[in-house]
Amino acid sequence: MPEILKQLSIAGDQTSTIWDYRGETSPNGGRIELRACVHHIPVISNVTGRGDLDKLRQVLLDRRPPANGLMVQFGTDAEGNVALFTRADRLCFQAKGANQVSCGIEHMHFVIGEEWSKKQLRAAAWIAQYLEREFDVPLQMADVEPAGSGVVKIARKGHTSHEQISHLAGFNDRTDPGSGFDYDYMFHAAKFFKANGHFVGA
């Protein structure tokens, strides 16, 4: 069972939970040079509580050997809950072409056209400010460049989409998290949290 790391004041008098799965979830490999955070959707529907985050973890674990094996560092859901699955600077097979330089967040959505709640964007913002504080990933969009042979180069550290990584690595097989994901608001909310310690009014 995951541990409760922290409760967030996510909106009004509402709270959300940061769930820490790191004691029971292993990454796919060792330390990486973390330069970017990749934003995804997992094609898993939001449900009340942490059931969606539990399901995501199990789906990824079920893809481990003898299959290819997958894991991701973080998850969020529409209620503003956060999952920490592994350390951000450990290898997870979450963004082909950039696994060696990036961590990933799976934001619970079934389709890219699904509406984004402010609470979920604030959960993303909590992860963003955590990555800035603990791993020097700045609150800005990353500059991503093709590097050949199915990999990308992160020319400027920051945040990016699964779609962009897939395109610049030459795979062109991903469209997530979709145009509705508001990076500008995420950066604003992250800075608001840094200044106030909560998201109420962000």
pLDDT score, position 69: 84
CA distances from 143 to 32, 57, 160 (A): 18, 29, 8
Within 10 A of 170 (CB to CB), how many other CB atoms are there?
A: 14
Question: Which residues of the chain carry a pLDDT beneath 50?
Answer: none
pLDDT digits (tens, 9 = 90+) for 8-26: 999 999 999 999 999 999 9
pLDDT score, position 77: 98
Closest CA to 56 of 78, 38, 74: 74
- In the chain, domain spans: 3-192
Domain 3-192 sits in CATH 3.30.565.10: no
Closest CA to 84 of 8, 174, 194: 8
pLDDT digits (tens, 9 = 90+) for 56-83: 999 999 988 777 789 999 999 999 999 9
Report yes or no on whether pTM surpasses 0.95. yes
